[in-house]
């Protein structure tokens, strides 16, 4: 990237019909830390420079996509521990499988229908 266009942070905003249910999902089930919250918009911190926000479509100019065409990918250190943690929090998860590009991966959906992909690099033997 050039110095003219060199983003410092990133934030993906999901516009949701099921706003409160989706906020609860990310806050209470995934336990993502809240960086900012209002009565229609919540920003979660993923890393020091990456955020995920949930916006109520009733208060926004952009409407929900219903999850169509969106996958949120989250890399974790230990795929088995991540799967067990989320499963123990009551989430319905696909089984862990090997991905052709050299990773282990599993998928699940948030209440709005957005697909989440959790992955980690395959451990070398």
* Strands 115-121 vs 71-75: parallel, antiparallel or unpaired: parallel
8 Å CB contact between 122 and 102:
yes
Q: What is the pLDDT of residue 100?
A: 87
Determine the Cα–Cα distance for residues 97 and 80; give it in Å rounded to an integer. 11
Determine the Cα–Cα distance for residues 44 and 35; give it in Å rounded to an integer. 5
Residue 8 has pLDDT above 70, yes or no: yes
Q: What is the pLDDT of residue 94?
A: 96
Domains of the chain: 10-121 (3.10.180.10)
Q: What is the pLDDT of residue 2?
A: 66
Q: Chain-wide mean pLDDT for the chain?
A: 94
CB-CB neighbours of 22 under 10 Å: 23
Contacts of 87 (CB under 8 A, 6+ apart): 93
Give per-residue pLDDT as tens, 42-82: 999 999 999 999 999 999 999 999 999 999 999 999 999 99
């Amino acid at each position: 990237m050039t110095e003219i266009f060199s983003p410092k942070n990133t934030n993906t905003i999901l516009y949701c019909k099921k706003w409160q249910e989706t906020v609860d999902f990310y806050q209470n089930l995934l336990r993502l830390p809240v960086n900012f919250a209002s009565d229609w918009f919540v920003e979660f911190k993923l890393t020091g420079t990456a955020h995920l926000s949930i916006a109520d479509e009733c208060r926004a100019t952009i409407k929900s996509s219903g999850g169509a065409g969106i996958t949120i990918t989250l890399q974790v250190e230990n795929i088995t521990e991540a799967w067990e943690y989320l499963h123990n929090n009551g989430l319905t998860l696909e089984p862990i499988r090997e991905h052709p590009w050299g990773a282990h991966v599993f998928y699940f959906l948030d209440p709005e229908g957005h697909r989440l992909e959790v992955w980690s690099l395959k451990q070398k033997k």
